[in-house]
Chains A and B, each alone.
Chain A
Amino acid sequence: MLAYILRRIFQSLIVLLAVGFVAFAMFSFVGDPVDNMLGQERTQADIERLREQLGLDQPFIVQYWRFLEQAAQGNFGLSYRQGRPVSEIIAERLPATVELALVSGFLAFIGGVGLGVFTAIRRHGLLPSFIMTASLVGVSLPTFLIGILLIYIFSVELGWLPSFGRGEVVDLGGWTTGFLTASGLKALILPAITLGLYQMTLIMRLVRTEMLEVLRMDYIRFARARGLTEKTINFRHALKNTLVPVITITGLQLGSIIAFAIITETVFQWPGVGLLFINAVQFVDIPVMAAYLMMISVMFVGINLIVDVLYFAIDPRLRIERSVGGH
């Protein structure tokens, strides 16, 4: 068990290093930060001085090595754009993204399971077919379009919900939360729906398929034969057995919700790490881009590591077939 975990951690570290390597190799194609940092009146001497100061005159391997050296000591450098420590900026922005991701993940799960069960039990009729068709739209419409559409309807035309920002936030010792104020909660609604819609339709279709599968099983037939109520059969027996794969997928999707919040955050001016990353790309703010990409890859690798270890604990077959590493 221990050897397996250590091996997985070692593999994860290699993945992280590879992500950093690819990221730094690409930064030179994003553009030249010096042009953004100095005004249009700068001289050639200024440019060279700054390039040297920032180490941009070095090959990317050297830049990467310097980043790793610093990062190992917990120092991610100063943002070129804001002139403040990157770790401080990310710590400021992370709560917004995490709260948005949790709420939209929660909405997606509740909505997805509810609609999935409904469309599985009632396979015919106008409403279920409407939901199935609408879910296709949810899967295929791009996020920014959904966001703009929601803003148009609920902010511009109806005036019910704010079109941008996080509303008022309460600072709980370094963690800012929008859960405690009315404007903070209102501001969460549209971005959370926008971000969660795709996941919701995904979960809904998954639940429906799984549920239909389970409902054909013998034990469901026997349950019916025993005269149990439909409610008990559907929710106590069928749904429970459906949820195992659904929860696994939802857990994994939470990672991608955080990582792909970029577009939603841009549309709603949501002050999270995704918007920070977009700004960093436009400004060629290399320290912020590097730290963000590392953070996201640590998150993905971490989630996968936990899932692998859990599988190992749950599934005895993995303990016997030693060559198999994860899924």
Chain B
Amino acid sequence: MQLTHSKKTLRTMLLTAAVSAVAISSVSAETLRWARAGDSLTLDPHAQNEGPTHTLAHQIYEPLIIRDMSGQFQAALATDWAPSPDDPNVWVFNLREGVTYHDGAAFTAEDVVFSIGRAQSENSNMKELLNSIVEVRAVDDLTVEMVTDGPNPILPSNLTNLFMMDSGWAESNGVVEVQDVEGGETTFAATNANGTGAYKLVSREPDVRTVLTQNENYWGIGQFPLEVTEIIYTPIQNAATRVAALLSGEVDFIQDVPVQDLDRVANTDGLIVKTAPQNRVIFFGMNMGAADIANDNVDGANPLADVRVRRAMNMAINRDAIQQVVMRGQSQPAGMIAPPFVNGWTAEMDGSVSTDIDAARALMAEAGYGDGFSIQLDCPNDRYINDEAICQAAVGMMAQIGITVNLDAKPKAQHFPLITNGETDFYMLGWGVPTYDSEYIFNFLTHTRGEDRGSWNGTGYSNPEMDAMIQSLASETDLSARNATIQAIWDDVQEQQLYLPIHHQVLNWGMSDAVGIDVSPEDDPKFKFFTMN
């Protein structure tokens, strides 16, 4: 390492003319050149509910409440919020005074009413998070009341990615409606932005380069470091190229560092890697609801319907081996399908699993499958970190208890429809919890599949008692009673072995050592918190 660097210095000195141009452009202290794998899909803050899109929007627009870099609530456009003392169905938000949009217009309660309404409209992708809101009222310029269809104790969690847009700007630019993909027209809001955030949009070429500059009228000046004055955001899709760009000093900050390159980056002078658990758990689901499953060799019965088989499969998975070999240490073995930040997670449940092949074999024999069976495992190959490799490891582990697994790995665009359409018997899925509450997990993954809930429950599991408990969470205001219900549901999920947890993903950010920031669990850097040396 030392040798190559001194060589590099020598060559740089020799090639003064050619290289100095590059060197000068890379020294400017306040500009942060940022790269990640994907680009934001649109600047319209309500059109897409997707990570990279929200991350860019967070620099330009602001919600009422944000999560800081450690995942805790922090006041943004609302200074405080609480349920109304008079009516349990109402939340009252006091808004920040003196906030202006980038074009100079004032931020008022009217904009909150407009923005929530816009996000609830048919073409919005954010509307499911706002299902419980029946009315938003502007009490005065700086007070807003949100009326829900029953008491909703976790409403603030649903608002942390819900950005506020100026109603006047939206009207004068014809973007009151969220873009309709099939509408035939591109909208002004998809390519322009006017928020209250710490950074203003300077230029944007989708998939190529987005430049932001600091908002000199930002309300938070003095409260946040705000040491980054300019952001140049470049999506670099190919992982090796992204790492090379960081190594060569062409970018200062990258997300999505591949696990095999972590040491390389960390051992390079002037670069550091920061690591933290991500808000995402990886697990396998099993189709236990069907009377007979298609892709196995057992006729007239579904081996996965037997809880003993599911437990045996859970015991057969060697999570430590996956962590050490497949993930090179970059994961946390999991015993439950909730990330550690989430309300309802307990260390006890998360640490409850251990590999025990003999006990697993005994359970298989007891269930009548001592000779095993064969089944197909569906796995994505471009969604999670080393997803296909994890599945390959699982194939070998299942073979130890007599289960012959045929692995079918495909791109995510083909994999996920299998789960939502109920066409897979054994599948991998990862789940992040933006609300930081177990209810979100139960709603999507363990509730009976139906109109409003259970859309990602590919297990076919249906338990009316559990469904009733899950539904009660939405309106239970007594937090200790609510937490007791959450615990009861988890006990059931664990007892029934509805899923086979694998691990919690770990996030890696690579950066120049001039950049000071800790990794956020949602993989969403907010640059107003960054320091630059």
Residues of A in contact with B (beta carbons under 8 Å apart):
29-33, 35-47, 49-50, 53-54, 78, 80-85, 88-89, 92, 148, 151-152, 155-160, 162-166, 182-183, 266-269, 271, 275-276, 278-279, 282-284
Contacts and interface: CB of A to CB of B under 8 A. Distances in A.
B8 interface: yes
A46 B129 CA distance: 14
Contacts of A166: 208
A81 B206 CA distance: 11
B126 to A, nearest CB: 8
Contact of A164 (B183, B250, B456): B250
B455 A35 contact: no
A80 B7 CA distance: 48
Interface string B215-259: 000000000000000000011111011101101111000000000
A279 B235 CA distance: 12
B416 interface: yes
The main secondary structure of chain A at its interface with chain B is helix
A284 B382 CA distance: 14
A156 B455 contact: no
Contact of A44 (B12, B126, B444, B451): B451
Interface stretch (B47-55, B147-155, B293-301, B329-337): B47-55
B487 interface: no
A39 B413 contact: no
The 8 A-B pairs with the shortest beta carbon distances in the complex, nearest first, are A31-B413, A39-B49, A41-B128, A31-B414, A32-B417, A155-B248, A271-B208, A163-B244
B190 A84 contact: yes
Given A83-B41, A165-B234, 17 more contacts: A29-B414, A31-B413, A39-B49, A41-B129, A43-B452, A49-B122, A78-B181, A83-B42, A83-B44, A84-B191, A84-B206, A88-B186, A148-B244, A156-B247, A159-B249, A163-B244, A269-B238
Contacts of A283: 413
Interface centre among B22, B44, B208 (most CB of A within 10 A): B208
Nearest to A284: B413
A269 B180 CA distance: 29
B179 interface: yes
Contact of A35 (B186, B187, B413): B413
8 contacts: A30-B413, A37-B181, A39-B126, A53-B182, A82-B206, A83-B190, A148-B241, A284-B413
Given A40-B456, A42-B455, A159-B12, A282 B411 contact: yes
Contacts, number: 162
Interface residues of B, number: 64
A236 B234 CA distance: 50
B411 A78 contact: no
A26 to B, nearest CB: 12
Interface in B454-505: 455-456
A156 B248 contact: yes
Contacts of A278: 237
A42 B123 CA distance: 12
Interface in B401-419: 411-414, 416-417
Contacts of B244: 148, 151-152, 155-156, 163-164
A7 B249 CA distance: 57
B209 interface: yes
B325 interface: no
Nearest to A266: B238
B8 A158 contact: yes
B240 A151 contact: yes
A84 B207 CA distance: 13
Interface in B188-209: 190-191, 205-209
B417 A35 contact: yes
Nearest to A182: B21
B347 interface: no
Given A269-B236, A271-B208, A80 B19 contact: no
B328 interface: no
Contact of A43 (B18, B44, B248, B455): B455
Contact of B237 (A41, A92, A269): A269
B420 A35 contact: yes
B4 interface: yes
A40 B456 CA distance: 8
B274 interface: no
Contacts of A81: 41
A282 B207 contact: no
A31 B235 CA distance: 24
Nearest to A52: B182
Contact of A41 (B49, B207, B250, B414): B49
Given A42-B125, A267-B238, A269-B235, A282 B382 contact: yes
Contact of A33 (B49, B240, B249, B413): B413
Interface in B368-423: 382, 411-414, 416-417, 420
Contacts of B444: 40-41
A159 B22 contact: yes
Contacts of B414: 29-32
B125 A39 contact: yes
A268 B237 CA distance: 9
Interface in B335-389: 382
Contact of A158 (B11, B235, B416, B455): B11
Contacts of A182: 21
B237 A275 contact: yes
Contact of A82 (B41, B249, B413): B41
B241 A282 contact: no
A164 B241 contact: yes
Contacts of A152: 244
Contacts of B236: 164, 269
Nearest to B180: A53
A20 to B, nearest CB: 20
Nearest to B42: A83
Contacts of A165: 208-209, 234
Given A160-B15, A269-B236, A54 B182 contact: yes
Nearest to A81: B41
B413 A271 contact: no
B104 interface: no
B413 A282 contact: yes
A295 B526 CA distance: 40
B496 to A, nearest CB: 23
A267 to B, nearest CB: 5
B98 interface: no
A284 B187 CA distance: 22
Contacts of B7: 157
Interface string B109-130: 0000000000000100110110
B184 interface: yes
B180 to A, nearest CB: 8
A267 B452 contact: no
Contacts of A82: 41-42, 190, 206-207
A38 B444 CA distance: 15
A83 B186 contact: yes
Nearest to B53: A39
Contacts of B126: 39
Interface string B27-71: 000000000000001101001111000000000000000000000
Interface in B72-100: none
Contacts of A42: 125, 128, 455
Contacts of B207: 82, 271, 275-276, 279
Nearest to B456: A40
A105 B50 CA distance: 40
Interface in B156-195: 179-184, 186-187, 190-191
B445 to A, nearest CB: 11
